[in-house]
Structure 1
């Protein structure tokens, strides 16, 4: 009994020594330093992106990876070096914590593991334009727990990482600066399709947002629109930078519609 009591007292003293006020202050200071380092990295990355816009995606991806390593590695380093727990306690606490996290925080743990999988599997990257369950926008950050997506209406949507492991997500550019933009024009059945296609092509190739190293293609088919059969002229072209997606589409739509009207190309009635 005495041996057991001595052991318990010794373990209690060890735990109390680990959580002395000085150690707790060092932990808080260490976490503040981690946050400041991460803030400085992101601020530096923002400045680099302003000076090197063509490397924007690479800088964003590297910043995300560094943040992962910093928070995970830094937290483990602080706990081990500051608290300095005995090896037996470290193993016991680690095992217990793993079980507790697995049951109590299974959703968070799943998102954390999914976040690591996203970094290596890379179904999309920071800077990509993606569509996830009807939400379309640009991936601005991949964090330990979630992915932040900024819509074209400037709303920020936060999605748990685990959702991307099982659900379908489409990426429009997969890390590239350029991206295909699809613009539809509807014509009457008796419209001059070749002339309309020529007009739309001319508008696209003269747009300052167009990426002309990629081909401009068209798909033409009959569809039903408001109970009428019409011709859909679908133009597929690449924009120079994903940030110009809507500007490019607006430019093409505005100028092409005006030229089609001036050329007398028949359009479907509005009602």
Structure 2
């Protein structure tokens, strides 16, 4: 084990001046991180579309670089900057993280991978397991998702190691919305398809530059129609789907179309 002389050669003597420098660095780091968390959303909310999403996505990177800059200034104040000392300290830190903070370190590494690979960005609508919502904050260990019912969910980044990530808009301001219709098989499919396209075209939420599609699948119980279109903004997806569903049903009823119904099969009794 290292004796006191070896430890003394690694760490510098800490006096009042060093303590003040460390305190100033910590205080400046906290102030800068708080400023980034307030200024970036304030600025992004005053910009449209892709510019808003781009500004929001810079927040985790700015916080990460501020943290690295603070660490690079604090280490020389505490440790004698020699190669032998740095190797010893980094080796000890790595060993401690490997045993004591295995899961936490895994989350940190996954967070860096997520930021580097752009698996999700601030403003994206993602599905992580059973959680679906908008990415509001990307931390070093977790990603904050706000669900459609306004619940705040924190998902660890190490979710990436074994589960798929479904990104609905992938950095775009818009995402595809689908309204489902289940009809009795005896009807005019061409007429129904044209009516559903008109329903999407007349929606106040429709983004006209992206295509509208109607996908038809014949099932044993009836015919399944999927009306696909894009709203102006991703946040309007639920109002857009509701609008297409309500007005689509209202437009189909006068045609005499019957909607498919499914009856529950009673359980067999022994």
| TM exceeding 0.5 | yes
Q: How many angstroms does 1:269 deviate by?
A: 4.6
Counterpart check, 1:173 vs 2:169: yes
1:266 partnered with 2:258? yes
Alignment counterpart, residue 241 of structure 1, candidates 223, 226, 233? 233
Query: Which ranges in structure 2 are unaligned for 5 or more consecutive residues?
Result: 264-270
Correspondence for 2:121: 125
Identify the residue that residue 53 of structure 1 maps to in structure 2.
Answer: 48
Cα–Cα, structure 1 residues 114 and 73, in superposed 2: closer, same or farther, change >3 Å? Answer: farther
Q: What's the CA shift string for 1:26-64, capped at 9, x where partnerless?
A: 434422321221111221111212210321210111112
- How far the C-alpha of 1:111 sits from its partner, in A, is 1.4
Q: CA deviation at 1:86?
A: 4.7
Q: Which of 235, 249, 253 is 2:245 aligned to?
A: 253
TM-score scaled by structure 2? Answer: 0.86
Structure 2 match to 1:214: 210
Which whole-Å deviations, capped at 9, do the CAs of 1:74-127 have from their partners, x for residues lacking one? 2232232x3353524443222211111122111111111111111222222222
What is residue 39 of structure 1 aligned with on the other side? 34
Distance in 1, matches of 2:131 and 2:5, equals 57
Deviations 1:178-235 (CA, angstroms, capped at 9, x unpaired): 11111101111112322222222111112121122111111111235xxxx1211111
- Aligned counterpart for 2:22 among listed residues 16, 24, 27: 27
Pair 1:79-2:75 in alignment: yes
| Partner SS for 1:232 | strand
Q: Which residue of 2 aligns with 1:100?
A: 96
**3-state DSSP class of the match of 1:117?**
helix
Q: Which of 102, 105, 110 is residue 114 of structure 1 equivalent to?
A: 110
Q: Secondary structure at the match of 1:247?
A: helix
Counterpart position of 1:161 = 157
Cα RMSD between the aligned structures?
2.3
Per the alignment, do residues 48 and 270 of structure 1 end up closer, same or farther by CA in structure 2, a change over 3 Å counting? same
Cα separation, 2, equivalents of 1:205 and 1:137: 26
In the TM superposition, residue 66 of structure 1 has moved relative to its aligned partner by 1.1
Q: How many residues align?
A: 259
Residues 188 and 268 in structure 1, CA contact (< 8 A), matched pair in contact too: yes
1:231 counterpart SS class: strand
Q: Indicate the SS of the match to 2:240.
A: helix
Unpaired segments of 5 or more residues in structure 1? 1-6
TM-score by length of 1: 0.86
